[in-house]
A and B are shown apart, each in its own frame.
Chain A
């Protein structure tokens, strides 16, 4: 589902809409199968800069057009739509599959798992196309993983810009690791370093 802007972009400032890039935790953004490690960070920028590739772009390894981009956010966000600007000559991605709130997805996982939504992309060199999400599924997104399995026939896939439109809540979705609910305190659950070093601890 693509949506073409029905207004000229000079009047309406689209940049304010694609503001979720500010909430992307850039230090933790990662990609798999990128040719230059760390180049994935250059695709998250302001909407006006979407065609400016002076700082580099994301490119996959030669001969392998698959790309996997992991995007963590600094707070939970609601994503309304996603815009992707690819490269010329068939290097644009042709499919996009999204997973939310799953860490550590690699290619075999991505290929086997059912995505939360997937889109067929078209070549979008000017960056005026955006792809709407099923909004109800994209509430409270702590991190987003985008999988681009194919492109338009080139050896490698290039992505110059990924834009995210939506709202940022101020909440942080933290996964609770382990919780111990106690009715009565159990000393073995509260071992200190001194206990481990030796000696018995007396608990009356």
Chain B
């Protein structure tokens, strides 16, 4: 709540036509200026803000320090871009404008937007800085736009000459997707010297953060709290349901992988088939989010086992469309597709495997966190039972192999 008179120096030189800050550098600057004016006038009603341009026909004061926000915003309208920026003269005129402020009790501050190259010497800038410091004028520099060699150095030197007890700041804004104003909101230029920020700045920061990072549900809780709450609750319910389904799918995947430990490629192919059968099943149950978890679970299980089981998990991952962007995955996928086309095992093999109660219960017992006496597990087994019975020989072979693995 510092009582302050601020002069904002705008760079409206030709360099501001560039579009590397959207929509143009000049527009981004104008938005930032509007925000700053709002923040200053809100933080203390007696604060005054003035605006001037440094380029164009010459250094010109558009509005002398006033607390009337409407006047300030109006004068920003209809500004033209052109000419060359005269930094030294601009700062000196700003100092003069501040000297003749009406309320002498206000602290003096100049905010300079430097978007074009600085043609002045470091020495000249330092002298200006010293003069400002002597008259206890604080200076905030917003360095954006042209990246001239030496520009940053010169501005830092200017800041060092002006800075008195950390009341002056410099902000470098690189080009990027973030708007100039968003970047500035979090800087001391907005929040004042460590005072914790005005309410305006804080609210603006929250809105900006919401827009930039994206609220979870694309809705700003400030704007529509009920909708945001409803979305959040439904998301959590869905997540809980998916976790339960994921657990089931993970059990099946674990069984599949244990089966896949066998070295025969035909088994692998069979497993692939069965996995592909299981995967659509998985897909039917869940959304993409669940597939992510499913894939991750399988990958984790695969890591603890090795070789074919890993590639199995990889294939399954691909089947569930979860990690299509992984190149290694894509490669493994290609291989697996080739493999699977060779062998056309019976689709019922897996179901026969599962139909064997004893086998299934033994598998389940070995899985951590799964209680074979759990009613949901029993239901699952019952559903498995309804599938056609496999031949006993096949069952026995498959039975023995997993049992051996379990003993490992």
Contact = CB atoms under 8 A, between A and B. Distances in A.
Q: Does B bind A?
A: yes
Interface residues of B, number: 9
Nearest to B99: A106
B134 interface: yes
Interface of A: 32-33, 37, 61, 64, 66, 103-104, 106-108
B135 interface: yes
A64 B164 contact: no
A108 B98 CA distance: 13
B104 A103 contact: yes
Contacts of B130: 61, 64
B291 to A, nearest CB: 58
B105 to A, nearest CB: 8
Does more than half of chain A's interface fall in helix, strand or loop, or is it mixed?
A: loop
A25 to B, nearest CB: 13
A32 B104 contact: no
Contact of B133 (A61, A66, A108): A61
Contacts of A103: 104
A103 B103 CA distance: 10
B164 A32 contact: no
Nearest to A66: B134
User: Top 7 closest A-B pairs, CB basis?
Assistant: A104-B104, A33-B134, A103-B104, A106-B135, A37-B165, A32-B136, A32-B135
A107 B104 contact: no
B134 A107 contact: yes
A61 B164 CA distance: 10
B101 to A, nearest CB: 8
A81 B99 CA distance: 31
Contacts of A32: 134-136
Does more than half of chain B's interface fall in helix, strand or loop, or is it mixed?
A: loop
Interface string B110-149: 0000000000000000000010011110000000000000
Contact of A61 (B99, B104, B134, B165): B134
A108 B164 CA distance: 20
A64 B164 CA distance: 15
Contacts of A64: 130, 134
A61 B134 CA distance: 8
Nearest to B164: A37
A108 B137 CA distance: 14
A193 to B, nearest CB: 14
Contacts of A104: 104
A108 B97 CA distance: 14
A107 B133 CA distance: 11
Nearest to A38: B165
A104 B135 CA distance: 10
A148 B136 CA distance: 17
Contacts of A37: 164-165
Contacts of B99: 106, 108
Nearest to B133: A61
B55 to A, nearest CB: 26
A32 B132 CA distance: 11
Nearest to B165: A37
A94 B104 CA distance: 29
A91 B220 CA distance: 61
Interface string B258-272: 000000000000000
A155 to B, nearest CB: 13
A38 to B, nearest CB: 9
Nearest to B103: A104
A106 B99 CA distance: 8
B131 to A, nearest CB: 8
Given A33-B133, A66-B134, A108-B99, 11 more contacts: A32-B134, A32-B135, A32-B136, A33-B134, A37-B164, A37-B165, A61-B133, A64-B130, A64-B134, A104-B104, A107-B135
